[in-house]
Each structure stands twice: as structure tokens, then as C-alpha cells.
Chain A
């Protein structure tokens, strides 16, 4: 199995405060990794750093993605090269239709990769099929991005964007929060549909319940800015029962 992502000794800060303090993580193509941990451990910071948010500053360590140094790539270049971050709090963009947004995103990525842009007809077919897959109303395409969407609808829309953009590395930041059982299943089905030997997924989550539907290969515990424990799916269940207290003490 080829290594897709390799993080070594990562230190990162936001607003002058160090959040990640020597994080190591290796993810192979084909794998699903779950990253769990208490609030404030640095889970969202890791997601943002991978996606290229400029207010998160890497102060030491390296991130290699597909063998290249990620630091050299802007957020939009990372997206074009297959990194997708599912947002914990997706942004509302009233007046910019989902259609306009998806088309702008997909064609910008294709352009960056040197591929031809999709014409209107092909694009519509490409999107419609995936809207159906996410059990969403096609009328949502002409509505503003996340405009007036409930928390669950926003998360579903994140997964729709992921299906449309077909990324290589998916980093889903608390995508399960705010979902009812039905929506959780639809979201999990979307994530599972993207599982393939070429792709990898990092599920950043607080709870075990998403992992009942998306079986992880590896579970990590992130505490105080570092991975303090890694194991198989059974680790997630252990955390659900015991909480994080025992690990924080160990860290």
C-alpha cells in the first residue's frame, strides 16, 4: 500500500498559541483513519492545517502528501490535488447557488490540473446523479449555498460536494455532529461510496456513532496536540465507555 499522507513532528499555532505539539501521523491509500479526542486537543486545527488555512501557522515539522511538501501549496491548489476538507461549520453563501458554486469549484480544480472544463450539460448530469445519491431535492441546486439549511442539511451538502469533486484525501471535521440517525446513515453511505484503494479518509470525530457505519482501519487518540495512542476499531469503543480522562493523564 502506498503512503498518501505523512506527518512528522508537526507543530502549529493559531493567534500565537501553539495547538499542535509534535504530531506524527501516516495514512496509506485505501485506509480510513479516525481521529478522536477531547475538546481542545487540536482535532480541528489538524484539519485546517491540512486544508491550508492561512491563519494556522506551521512552526515546525513536515507534511508530505503524495510525496510532495504540502507547505508549498495554497488552499486552492491542495483542493485541486485532491485534498478535501469537510467543514465542522459550513459557511452560508446566500445568493450564490449551489450550482454556481459547484461548477466554479469543479472547473477551477480541473483547470489547475490541466483538464478540460465540463460543459453545462455534462456538469448537470454529473451533479444530478450525486444529488440523488445523497437523497437531496434537486431544487437545492438553485438555492444559495447552505442558505437556510439546517445543521444536518449542511453536513449532507458537504458530502455532496465531496462526491462531486471526487477528492483523493478526505478530511472530515466532525461531519457527524448535528445529524439525526437517518442523515447519519446517508452521510455514512456517501463516505463509504468514496472508499477505494486509491483514496484515504480521515474522520475527525468526538463520538463513536459514525464509526458504527463507517468502519475505520485505524483509530488514533489526539490529546494536547499529539497522537497519544493508536489502535484498531476496538479503541473507539473503549473511548466511548471510558471517556478521555485516563488518556489525558497518560499524556
Chain B
């Protein structure tokens, strides 16, 4: 296990600034990382994504930078919470419990060793947050190998409700390595909608783990928008380094339906192009009876690239009357695109309903002709049909302005100049 000495040096510096009471737990976490290293592709769950090379590369703690102009990402009507390189801009940096993560012991150890507190949210009993929370985690790397690790914790008490938008923004610059965790706990009857928008810069290696515990009759809705970064090329001089390392985004989603009647709905839109590698691993664990889960995924193969989607559903012994459904559809748009989509079912109960299906296809020629016969040029016709394909997931984004922004971003990527407005968005009026 080769771990570059710079990790240890960075930890010495990081630990020195911690309160004495925290140091032991952090040092133990770092030891786990040092022993186990980062996951390699010999582990089944990491078959397509090998992080081990990053352990051998020099890193250093991300530097503090001035707050950038965030107007392009700001959303009206939201309560905004900003982190820049893992440092809170307007939240109290109160010490927070370390997250427990199970994707990989070494990776979790790295995250726990260096984690800085992200959003620490508790919504009291029967309170509904009137305004959505908008978390912006900005990465602004000036020197190659900057890293930061951010841990969010969200707890909704009995009957509470909230809408949370988590957006990861990468400003163009040097190569970087970041991890992020979202620990979510929903008490009885609580309802959380979580929208995650991945907007990292090129040359980023990022790992996200979401671990959610859904209580009795509680409900979690997730919309994960994981698309290639659209930011410009990295700054000159760093371009070669960034291109060599490419962009790698790995996300693990673990949702446990922990008590009877819990409901989870996960939807994801993902697509990769060029040197972007996206890997999403979802797991819903039905640990109690009468749980329901739904998963809707849409994948786009834009160009020579690899995107991975693994959707696992586990039904534990005793989780009778589980009702679960998973649908994966992929659209291949260019030569050389690769999508590895895999549904996985593991069922230990006998009175359950579990449906799943996966498809891979291309645009329907009859539909392209229908649009062209109305005068819509071919490129625009294809863009409209791609929009139609992704809208099933996009329409689940409850914030209309954000939905419109995402729709514009995706269609702009297709280069066909669709005219999108709130009035023309389907379902916007409903």
C-alpha cells in the first residue's frame, strides 16, 4: 500500500489545529486510511473505479481563498449556505460528530480524518422549512493536488419537512481531490427532498457518500443530477496535468428503510463525455416491513467516456410487504460511449414485490422525422428528444428555476439552441 508522504504531512498540520479532545479519533481514522489505503478495482463495488493511484500522488490541504462571485449559481427564494474549499462562509464551524461510512474503510478513514463540518441541520418536530436550503460547496484549487473533505449532517425530527439542494461547484483551476458525506436521519413521518447537482471542474476527483436512515412512515426523495462539467479548460500551465488525470466522480448512496412504512424515491440523471468518469452506486436497504422504494435513472452517453450505474435493492428477512421498483434507461448518443448499468436484487423475504428493468437504446428515427416534418432542423429535433428523455427525472426537481437552469445547461450542451422558458417547460404549469 503506497501512500504518499504528503498525506501524513497534511494530517500533522490539520491535527495541530484541532481541539485536543478530537485528536485521538482523528488519528485513529488516519491510521485506518494508512493501513487500508484507497479502494482499487479488485474490490467488486469498485470494479470500474480505481482510486488507489491517487494515494500515491502528492496532496496538500486546500488553501483559503476569497469568496468568488456566485451569482451564476444563486437561486431565488433559498437560504444559502456556502463552503469554499471546505471552509464555511456563513455557518458556524461547530465541531460535529464524525460520519460513519461503509463504502470503503480506508476511504472513510481519510474522510473522517480530515472532515470539516458542513451543514449541521436539525429541523424540529412538526416544523416545515418554508424556504429551500441551498448548500453550495465550492472548490477553488490554485495548486495541483489540493484536497478538502466536508461532512454534512441532516436530521429531521418527527413530522418535519425540508427541501435541500446540494450543489458542488468546481471553479476551473488545478487538479484536486475532495470527499463529501451527507448523513441523513429522518424520524417518524419526516419528509426530506434532496437535490444534488454535481458541477465539478475538470481535473477533479470527488467522492460523495450519502447515508440515510428513513424512519417509520418517513419519506426521502432524491434527485441526483450528475453530468459532465461544462466549465472551461483549466488555466494554462495546469491544462496538461488536468487532462492527464481527467475527472472522476464517484457517488455512493445508501438508504436504509429502517422502520415500517418508510418510503424512498431515488432518481438520477447521469451522463459522461470526454475524459469524465462517473460512477454512481445506489443501495436501498429494506430493513422493515411495508417499505416502498422507487428508483428512476436516465443515462446519457455523450461521447467516448464511461458512466457506471449500480442499483442495488436489498430486502431483509422480515421486511415483508416490501414494494420496490427500479427502472434504468440509457440513451447512447455517440460512438465510444460506454454505460455500465446493473440492477441488483437481494431478497430474503417471501412476500414482496420487486420490479426492475434496464434498457439501452438510441433516438427513435420516427420521432426525429416527425419533428423534421414540422420544420425543426435535425440537430434541434434530436435535442428536443433528448430533453424528452431526461425530463422524466428533471421534472422531479421541485424548484422550478433550478429545473429550468438544468434544462438549459443540458440542452446548451447539445448545441441546438432550444428556446426554453418556464412557460414552455412541460409540467411547470401543473
Residues of A within 8 A of B (CB): 51-55, 74-76, 78-80, 84-85, 87, 90-91, 93-97, 99-101, 103-109, 112, 120, 124, 139, 142-144, 161, 165
Which residue among A52, A101, A112 has the maximum number of chain B CB atoms within 10 Å of its CB?
A101
Q: Across the interface, do B395 and A95 meet the contact criterion of CB distance under 8 Å?
A: yes
CB neighbours (8 Å) of A161 from chain B are 374
Give chain B interface residues in 352-401, CB to chain A under 8 Å. Answer: 364-367, 369-378, 380-381, 384-385, 387-392, 394-395
Q: Across the interface, do A79 and B372 meet the contact criterion of CB distance under 8 Å?
A: yes
Q: Which residue of B is nearest A139, CB measured?
A: B429
Q: Across the interface, do A112 and B375 meet the contact criterion of CB distance under 8 Å?
A: yes
Q: Whole-angstrom distance between the alpha carbons of A95 and B367 in the complex?
A: 14
Whole-angstrom distance from the CB of A100 to the nearest CB of chain B? 4
Decide yes or no whether B423 CB sits under 8 A from chain A: yes
CB neighbours (8 Å) of A143 from chain B are 426
CB neighbours (8 Å) of A144 from chain B are 388, 426
Q: Across the interface, do B373 and A51 meet the contact criterion of CB distance under 8 Å?
A: yes
Q: Whole-angstrom distance between the alpha carbons of A186 and B336 in the complex?
A: 49
Q: Across the interface, do B370 and A142 meet the contact criterion of CB distance under 8 Å?
A: no
Give chain B interface residues in 389-430, CB to chain A under 8 Å. Answer: 389-392, 394-395, 418-421, 423-430
Given contacts A99-B424, A104-B384, A104-B418, contact A80 B370 (CB under 8 A): no
Q: Across the interface, do A93 and B384 meet the contact criterion of CB distance under 8 Å?
A: yes
Partner of A165, one of B374, B377, B418: B374
Given contacts A99-B424, A104-B419, A120-B421, contact A94 B374 (CB under 8 A): no
Q: Across the interface, do B373 and A93 meet the contact criterion of CB distance under 8 Å?
A: no
Q: Across the interface, do A96 and B378 meet the contact criterion of CB distance under 8 Å?
A: no
CB neighbours (8 Å) of B370 from chain A are 87, 90-91, 93
Partner of A53, one of B369, B394, B429: B369
Given contacts A95-B392, A139-B429, contact A75 B372 (CB under 8 A): yes
Given contacts A108-B377, A142-B426, 7 further A-B contacts (CB under 8 A): A87-B370, A91-B364, A94-B388, A95-B387, A96-B388, A96-B391, A103-B424
Q: Whole-angstrom distance between the alpha carbons of A80 and B375 in the complex?
A: 6
Given contacts A75-B369, A100-B424, contact A93 B388 (CB under 8 A): yes
CB neighbours (8 Å) of B418 from chain A are 100, 104
Q: Across the interface, do B377 and A76 meet the contact criterion of CB distance under 8 Å?
A: yes
Whole-angstrom distance from the CB of A242 to the nearest CB of chain B? 34
Whole-angstrom distance from the CB of B412 to the nearest CB of chain A? 15
Q: Whole-angstrom distance between the alpha carbons of A78 and B384 in the complex?
A: 20
Give chain B interface residues in 236-267, CB to chain A under 8 Å. Answer: none
Q: Across the interface, do A100 and B429 meet the contact criterion of CB distance under 8 Å?
A: no
Whole-angstrom distance from the CB of B132 to the nearest CB of chain A? 23
Q: Across the interface, do B387 and A76 meet the contact criterion of CB distance under 8 Å?
A: no
User: 8 closest pairs, A vs B, by CB?
Assistant: A95-B391, A79-B375, A109-B375, A100-B424, A97-B426, A142-B429, A105-B374, A75-B372
CB neighbours (8 Å) of A55 from chain B are 365
Q: Across the interface, do B373 and A75 meet the contact criterion of CB distance under 8 Å?
A: yes
Which residue among A78, A90, A105 has the maximum number of chain B CB atoms within 10 Å of its CB?
A105
Partner of A93, one of B365, B367, B419, B428: B367
Q: Whole-angstrom distance between the alpha carbons of A75 and B369 in the complex?
A: 8
Query: What are 7 of the A-B contact pairs (CB < 8 Å)?
Result: A55-B365, A74-B372, A91-B366, A96-B391, A99-B423, A142-B428, A144-B388
Whole-angstrom distance from the CB of B407 to the nearest CB of chain A? 10
Whole-angstrom distance from the CB of B203 to the nearest CB of chain A? 34
**How many A-B Cβ pairs are below 8 Å?**
113
Whole-angstrom distance from the CB of B395 to the nearest CB of chain A? 7
CB neighbours (8 Å) of B419 from chain A are 100, 103-104, 107
Q: Which residue of A is nearest B395, CB measured?
A: A95
Whole-angstrom distance from the CB of A46 to the nearest CB of chain B? 14
Q: Across the interface, do B369 and A97 meet the contact criterion of CB distance under 8 Å?
A: no
Q: Across the interface, do A142 and B430 meet the contact criterion of CB distance under 8 Å?
A: yes
CB neighbours (8 Å) of B424 from chain A are 97, 99-100, 103
CB neighbours (8 Å) of A78 from chain B are 373
Which residue among A76, A78, A84 has the maximum number of chain B CB atoms within 10 Å of its CB?
A76
Q: Whole-angstrom distance between the alpha carbons of A28 and B318 in the complex?
A: 76
Which residue among B385, B421, B424 has the maximum number of chain A CB atoms within 10 Å of its CB?
B424
Which residue among B377, B385, B395, B429 has the maximum number of chain A CB atoms within 10 Å of its CB?
B377
Q: Which residue of B is nearest A81, CB measured?
A: B375
Q: Which residue of A is nearest B416, CB measured?
A: A104
Which residue among B367, B374, B381, B424 has the maximum number of chain A CB atoms within 10 Å of its CB?
B374
CB neighbours (8 Å) of B384 from chain A are 93, 96, 100-101, 104
Whole-angstrom distance from the CB of B241 to the nearest CB of chain A? 40
Whole-angstrom distance from the CB of A50 to the nearest CB of chain B? 10
What sequence of 0s and 1s flags, for each residue 104-142 of chain B, a beta carbon within 8 Å of any chain A beta carbon? 000000000000000000000000000000000000000
Whole-angstrom distance from the CB of B380 to the nearest CB of chain A? 6
Q: Whole-angstrom distance between the alpha carbons of A194 and B377 in the complex?
A: 25
Whole-angstrom distance from the CB of B114 to the nearest CB of chain A? 42
Whole-angstrom distance from the CB of A125 to the nearest CB of chain B? 13
Q: Across the interface, do B377 and A95 meet the contact criterion of CB distance under 8 Å?
A: no
Whole-angstrom distance from the CB of A82 to the nearest CB of chain B? 10
Q: Whole-angstrom distance between the alpha carbons of A91 and B376 in the complex?
A: 14
Q: Across the interface, do A76 and B376 meet the contact criterion of CB distance under 8 Å?
A: yes
CB neighbours (8 Å) of B374 from chain A are 79, 101, 105, 161, 165
Q: Whole-angstrom distance between the alpha carbons of A211 and B344 in the complex?
A: 57
Given contacts A105-B374, A108-B376, contact A100 B369 (CB under 8 A): no
Q: Across the interface, do A95 and B373 meet the contact criterion of CB distance under 8 Å?
A: no
Q: Which residue of A is nearest B391, CB measured?
A: A95
Whole-angstrom distance from the CB of B49 to the nearest CB of chain A? 31
Q: Whole-angstrom distance between the alpha carbons of A53 and B380 in the complex?
A: 17
Which residue among B372, B381, B419 has the maximum number of chain A CB atoms within 10 Å of its CB?
B372
Partner of B388, one of A75, A95, A104: A95
CB neighbours (8 Å) of A107 from chain B are 419
Given contacts A97-B426, A100-B424, A120-B421, contact A79 B388 (CB under 8 A): no
Q: Across the interface, do A96 and B387 meet the contact criterion of CB distance under 8 Å?
A: yes
Q: Whole-angstrom distance between the alpha carbons of A95 and B395 in the complex?
A: 8
Whole-angstrom distance from the CB of A99 to the nearest CB of chain B? 5
Q: Whole-angstrom distance between the alpha carbons of A112 and B365 in the complex?
A: 23
